[in-house]
Amino acid sequence: MRRRSGIVDVVRHRVAWLALVAGVAASPAAAVPALTQPQLEGPLTTRTIEFPDLADAARAGRRVPIKVHLPQWSGPFPVVVLSHGAGGTWDGLHALAHHLASHGYAVLALEHPGSNTERLRRGMRFGANLRAMTRDASEVLGRPRDVAFALDQAQQWNQSHPELKGAFDLTRVAAIGHSFGAYTVLAVCGARPALDWLEPRVEPGGGLGPDLGDARVKACVALSPQGPGEPFFLEGSFASIDRPVLAITGSRDQQQGTTPANRRRFFDLEPPGGKVFVWLVGADHSAFSDASGSHRASLPSRARVDAQPIVRAATLLFLEAQLRGDAGADAQLSVRGLQPLVHGAVTRIEVLRK
């Protein structure tokens, strides 16, 4: 009875939340304040379970720590895999993980050992370490396989784990990543990595790399995606993306040589079909990650507090549309639907589709 009641509560809250967004969007922008974070919070209490010592035996015991965020209610829940940026941890997108879990998703927040905070700080050579990890062949080609490992692990937990048995609906899976994590989830959805900058060399030493896609992942959200050029992609990398993609970036999103214009070019090069691009004028690179709610600190960002409500709302609407088939949510993923959240450092929003 508790499970049914919880599901009913989720449905009722979702309807009310979408109606709230729609109602605000239909009113004159000057007459209504932006939705606040508490209004965007889901109805479910959440819990986390940490698995810091997981290792993939098929890849020489490569460590892939996973923090699971999920509702207190019984599942199964749609699954979202999170991939952090270069130098991050499994808490790099903690606020988004909690937000999605509060709306009825089971979230697998990964830590990629070859590109985490520990590696970034090695020898206190931050710039050199950042460059090295984003060109490290084992890391660039290994991160998408970490996503596959996490889904394999969830399948095992579904069968026998005392707290997680039956929690994961593996027929409804999405992946979300920021920066290096955006590369990761795009590769999982069919983008082909460039071999040109990998160290050590991967034969033939240039051109498009292997297909690292995982058919279980039905859609992805790329926060700060990269266009063509060093270190991840070529112009032909994106033609093989064969699933819906939500990309979110901004006019100040510049990092490691990747410019805002290059990130917009990513959308131009994607094939049509379920592609959505959200552009936030005033948002910088670090605005798209948020570790708040964890014991980790986020990199400074003047726009984070204003960008994050939009990121969370757009992401949830996209997932509702892609994993739950909610046409109303898809309709609200628009300038009109998100405009009430535009505030402060974020001065304007664009939403493109193809």
Most distant CA atoms of the chain, gap in Å: 60
What would the DSSP string read from start to end of 65-91? -EEEEEESS---EEEEEEE--TTB-TT
- Pull the structure tokens for residue 117: 């905070």
Q: What is the mean pLDDT of residues 200-226?
A: 98
Cα distance between residue 178 and residue 286, in whole Å: 9
Predicted confidence band at 5 (pLDDT cuts at 50, 70, 90)? very low
Cα distance between residue 47 and residue 97, in whole Å: 11
Q: What is the mean pLDDT of residues 121-148?
A: 95
- Chain centroid to Cα 172, Å, comes to 15
Q: What is the mean pLDDT of residues 158-184?
A: 98
Contacts of 321 (CB under 8 A, 6+ apart): 327, 329, 330, 333
What b/e sequence results for 231-254 when a residue is b if at least 16 CB atoms lie within 10 Å of its CB, and e otherwise?
bbbbeebbeebebbbbbbbbbbbb
42 Rama sector, left if φ>0, alpha if ψ -120 to 50, beta otherwise: beta
Predicted confidence band at 52 (pLDDT cuts at 50, 70, 90)? very high
- Pull the structure tokens for residue 354: 């193809």
Q: Strand pairing partners for 220?
A: 175, 245
| Structural domain boundaries, residue 176 | 2-353
Cβ atoms of 89 and 128 closer than 8 Å: no
Which of 80, 86, 60 has its CA nearest to residue 188? Answer: 80
Which of 278, 255, 261, 104 has its CA nearest to residue 181? Answer: 255
User: Which range, of 17-31, 37-51, 119-133, averages the lowest pLDDT?
Assistant: 17-31
Question: How does DSSP classify residue 306?
Answer: H
For 233-250, write each residue's pLDDT tens digit.
999 999 999 999 999 999
- Chain centroid to Cα 35, Å, comes to 22
Cα distance between residue 73 and residue 89, in whole Å: 27
User: What percent of the chain stands above pLDDT 70?
Assistant: 89
Which of 275, 168, 159 has its CA nearest to residue 216? Answer: 168
Cα distance between residue 180 and residue 145, in whole Å: 14
Cβ atoms of 264 and 167 closer than 8 Å: no
Comparing 186 with 124, the larger pLDDT belongs to 186
49 Rama sector, left if φ>0, alpha if ψ -120 to 50, beta otherwise: beta
Count of domains for the chain: 1
Reply yes or no: is the peptide bond before residue 76 cis, omega within 30 of 0: yes
Predicted pLDDT of residue 257: 85
Residue 23 in this model has a pLDDT that exceeds 60 = no
Domain with 69 in it: what CATH number? 3.40.50.1820
Comparing 288 with 256, the larger pLDDT belongs to 288
Cα distance between residue 338 and residue 311, in whole Å: 10
Q: What are the φ and ψ backbone dihedral angles of 38, each rounded to 5 degrees?
A: -60, -35
Predicted pLDDT of residue 40: 62
Mean pLDDT across the chain: 90
User: Which range, of 39-48, 119-128, 180-189, 313-322, averages the lowest pLDDT?
Assistant: 39-48
Residue 290 in this model has a pLDDT that exceeds 80 = yes
Query: SS in 3 state form for 129-180?
Result: HHHHHCCEHHHHHHHHHHHHHHHHHHHHHHHHCCCCCCCEEEEEEEEEEECH
Q: Strand pairing partners for 292?
A: 294
- Chain centroid to Cα 183, Å, comes to 10
- Chain centroid to Cα 156, Å, comes to 23
Q: What is the mean pLDDT of residues 133-139?
A: 97
- Chain centroid to Cα 138, Å, comes to 22
